[in-house]
Structure 1
């Protein structure tokens, strides 16, 4: 410690740091002066840019230091020296501050004057000033954290007599703008990172990233004014890591990002990014468990451990049905990993771990730059990758086992500053920090992948065959519905395709919204998310094992018996609603159904899983199920219907309520899905 103290004194004579330029904007405080406000303080400057995963990695470290030295004359200041054009904007930095919970002053060094003056050469970098405004330490990278802590301790001792305990007043951005109320509100999104839509069930899955939760909505597919109704809220809102199995209400996530819904298993797989792990969310048992990762940032670039496998900021995932595995965009260490769902082992699939963007016929020798979005084509011939920091759309040809670049960049593989906003082919095209890719096949003629060009606030179309890209939707940064060309987005970060209705769902992150692009109509609309609905309360009761009839006063009708083959493990119960010829469903209201099985019995259900509730937006209700075994007798069920309908003749609208009891019995001769025909008066 003595040597370090002497070194601090010696280094203090090297550079008297100039004042912050007076015209630069400050966030979280009023402008601060080195010779005035900061005189008598030890000052830690964090040179960062909000796109940088390494900069994000050190934020928890800074929060720890701020808490540890809260009563000491140390001031923490973020010097935001942007890499990308979009990051120079003060509003964009404000969103990053709110998104990441930064509570110290931040200056927008958009001209990089302080960066150049202090000879900073990479992100993140830490500089420490003594009470006289002299530079006594400059270190670069995450690995400098240990030295930073040692230097702060040394400085408190060396400069004890020169220190001042005067207070630096903060004016936190979270107290000024609406976004903080969004962060704390259960009925709003806060910087949603990724989105997934399941076409068959019409369920919408959202990573509500800054609220540290996962939300599941039921879509009501209207052509205009799209709506979705909350089914499940998963996560307590805390950012803690717990390796044990937890319930939906008690589990915790930290900045959850990529997700994938496995319909056959009824499980959501989730990249719990800042907890550095993968989670499995079981919608049948309503339990959440960690399947990979230990809750802290790892530095294993190989993997293969049977237990205790650490991960590093997994940002997105997609499933390979052929391999029964998850491809993982491991943004934190610039690699693509593979998690085997059978063996539960994860390992490196592509990338040596250095931040660059070079292709190779040996995948383990390829380089990547913060890969943040992944998707597969339907034949699993190519894994498409949004390589964010290189501003490229790249891929892995799976049969050939080699990496390729589709668009973006230039002739130099390690040039991570070849960005812009230009349609075109190959390296003539330019993007700016793309975060999502989504396979759409031949839904748009000539193009097969949708790209979220995040920092250009645009949605673009990629042709993988011609290696060309063009702008599809988005004009300038903002929030506006309308035609493809006039619509506006604000850092869209996630994409998902609904092939049944030919629609793209977009997590419009900085607009705290989910947007819908209709391929057939060319319209962009904001999805209205209904948080407080009867559907949510029904699901809550199911989740808490307290399911009961929601139409208790309705007379129960006899629906007879449905036959199911005991040898069929999975199937669907089909319910056909026969409305009067002069009536139609009122899609402006929410018609619901609920299935209670077993009904009025304490015996275990014959089903290992079965969908128990949903929205009625057509006259066919499909209820997927999976049987426990092929050895069972019968089960009694209750189906409740709350239907809003209108007459075609005079437009009168009314409510119809029905409760139908029926039994399910085994029948070896049954080959088709059982059907229940109901006449709605």
Structure 2
């Protein structure tokens, strides 16, 4: 087996932190000099990125344990145009309860200075201002804990560690009925004595709220206001950033004992709510984030054992869900793994319904398709499932055919393409859409979140238009019947902390503000032969789990597919020889690196029942072929200096 450890390298002085401004510092500008004496973790993130949100939560216990010696600095380096808006960044810092300083890096100056290649990337600086580790992806908290302890011991001995409070200054919390609401659901009138009421996921307050039709009069709350995980009564129950909600079909409610299913995103679980009793129960999910589940490190991540207890199956940021008559199951947008899962509420069986786990846009049979952080699902009247695929800024559809279900794309080009353009399928662009609904005429209304708009697709013609704009990050959209029998939209306006009614205009707007692409600098490669390596060094106290062979794996593909002439596919090892098509000068490499390590000392055996850890990162790497390009590409899964 190849040695994948990262050799110790010459110490490199950290680059200065440069950006537009700072948040969570009380208005103060920070510098590396002001942080000297502290261990610093630079967390390169962007608020659209699900993996980045996972890392925010992974770091919280580490920040608490070492609060007097460790400072995390979030370096916000945006992917989408909207994410470069300073007000949108402020809202994201509030929404995700970020409790460390954040540098606004809209031009990717600090990103480029630290040669970041993926969201999320973590760079660790020692108290003297030198880079000691460069990590990509998720699952690093155990290794970071060991590394921080080593640095504390080393620099306390040297006298270069300074204990005391860090520079974090909290921001005021939003007030009002809701705080960053996620999704909404019109409830049957029998749940409120014949009146129409709505159930809303009050995401930043970690609760569900039932409100009257005025969207302000609160009838009941379930869970919150503190985050947590607990089943029980409405007062006892705890959620952690609940998102999607779906009604249980009438004929299944008595059997299941619940009326609504809830995608409890940060708890990585599916929960059930009985609206009459207020009781909350867990229906599926172990609570372990699937991408770092050590128990599945050596199994096919797309396989779930038939008959497996649903409470033992790891999920990853379930974001929305809908009952599908064709599938006879709930379909769940598993945003963290870029897949659609199915959940049979009667048997409890979970399965991967669509998506390979590769992040991108690829149509065809559901088993071969690619998604990218799907965040909204609806069932149309014809039984097809429409999908708001946020990271590809795409509108997708799952169609059930006689032999198999297939995926089609109605709007969207790829992982790095977005914009605000109305028109036909080839021209139209969205920007990180999160919600959708079917209008009475069969057209689809889309919450085009980062464009602050509601768009409309006519499936018959493929034309996209704009119904409304000027909204503050709409995250969901419903349709209601008016007293005169017409239709009107209800929009969940997340960043305005409210639900609003929006009339459907007789004529749509036609907007053309241009198509865009992610401005991240492309990596220059030479055509022909390329050696790829993912650096990985197991943390102190862990070792690669070689008991059953090589515990590392690379999965490599490209867009377009014929960019890689040989070397694509999935195989063990963290080094791969690729042959690139020199006739294609611009492409995206899709690379997933995995490594499994277990608690144990070098040279010794891994103890029975040792805790095992899965390290994984997905790179969507824009590349260009140039005469001066590199013939070797090295990325850090866990590189330590």
Q: Tell me, what secondary structure is at the counterpart of 1:114?
A: helix
Q: Does 1:133 align with 2:129?
A: yes
Instruction: State the structure with bigger RCO (CA 8 A, min sep 6), 1 or 2.
Output: 2
Structure 2: distance between partners of 1:521 and 1:388: 28
Structure 1: distance between partners of 2:223 and 2:303: 31
Structure 1: distance between partners of 2:96 and 2:216: 27
Aligned to 2:448: 453
Structure 2: distance between partners of 1:322 and 1:24: 50
Residue of 479, 487, 504 corresponding to 1:519: 504
Aligned to 1:291: 283
Q: Does 1:398 align with 2:400?
A: yes
Q: 1:227 to 1:388 in 2, by over 3 A?
A: closer
Structure 2: distance between partners of 1:89 and 1:290: 38
Structure 2: distance between partners of 1:248 and 1:152: 40
Aligned to 1:440: 439
Q: Tell me, what secondary structure is at the counterpart of 2:426?
A: helix
How many Å apart are 1:270 and its aligned residue? 1.0
Residue of 186, 189, 210 corresponding to 1:197: 186
Contact 2:45-2:121 within 8 A present in 1 as well: yes
How many Å apart are 1:355 and its aligned residue? 1.2
Residue of 205, 228, 238 corresponding to 1:240: 228
**Which whole-Å deviations, capped at 9, do the CAs of 1:401-434 have from their partners, x for residues lacking one?**
111110122xxxxx41101111122232111110
Q: Structure 2: give runs of 5+ residues left out of the alignment.
A: 190-194, 292-300, 509-641
Contact 2:244-2:263 within 8 A present in 1 as well: yes
Residue of 15, 40, 43 corresponding to 1:43: 40
Structure 1: distance between partners of 2:325 and 2:410: 24
Give the structure-1-normalised TM-score: 0.66
How many Å apart are 1:229 and its aligned residue? 3.1
Contact 1:195-1:505 within 8 A present in 2 as well: no
Structure 2: distance between partners of 1:518 and 1:331: 31
Residue of 252, 262, 277 corresponding to 1:270: 262
How many Å apart are 1:520 and its aligned residue? 7.1
For the aligned residues, what is the CA RMSD?
2.3
Structure 2: distance between partners of 1:59 and 1:346: 27
Residue of 445, 463, 475 corresponding to 1:493: 475
Residue of 321, 328, 336 corresponding to 1:332: 336
Aligned to 2:315: 311
Tell me which moved more, 208-217 or 423-432.
423-432
Q: Structure 1: give runs of 5+ residues left out of the alignment.
A: 1-5, 220-225, 410-414, 475-487, 524-681
Structure 2: distance between partners of 1:162 and 1:79: 28
How many Å apart are 1:323 and its aligned residue? 4.6
How many Å apart are 1:64 and its aligned residue? 0.7
Greater Rg by CA: 1
Tell me which moved more, 292-301 or 395-404.
292-301
Give the structure-2-normalised TM-score: 0.70
Q: Tell me, what secondary structure is at the counterpart of 1:515?
A: strand
Contact 1:441-1:449 within 8 A present in 2 as well: no
Q: 1:291 to 1:232 in 2, by over 3 A?
A: same
Q: 1:263 to 1:205 in 2, by over 3 A?
A: farther
How many Å apart are 1:499 and its aligned residue? 4.1
Q: Does 1:151 align with 2:147?
A: yes
Contact 1:98-1:173 within 8 A present in 2 as well: no
Aligned to 2:366: 363
Q: Tell me, what secondary structure is at the counterpart of 2:377?
A: strand
Q: Does 1:207 align with 2:201?
A: yes
Structure 2: distance between partners of 1:262 and 1:509: 25
Structure 2: distance between partners of 1:323 and 1:19: 54
How many Å apart are 1:78 and its aligned residue? 0.6
Q: Tell me, what secondary structure is at the counterpart of 2:56?
A: helix
Structure 2: distance between partners of 1:202 and 1:263: 18
Structure 2: distance between partners of 1:499 and 1:209: 26
Structure 2: distance between partners of 1:234 and 1:373: 22
**Which whole-Å deviations, capped at 9, do the CAs of 1:235-264 have from their partners, x for residues lacking one?**
14232213x4x1111111110111123473
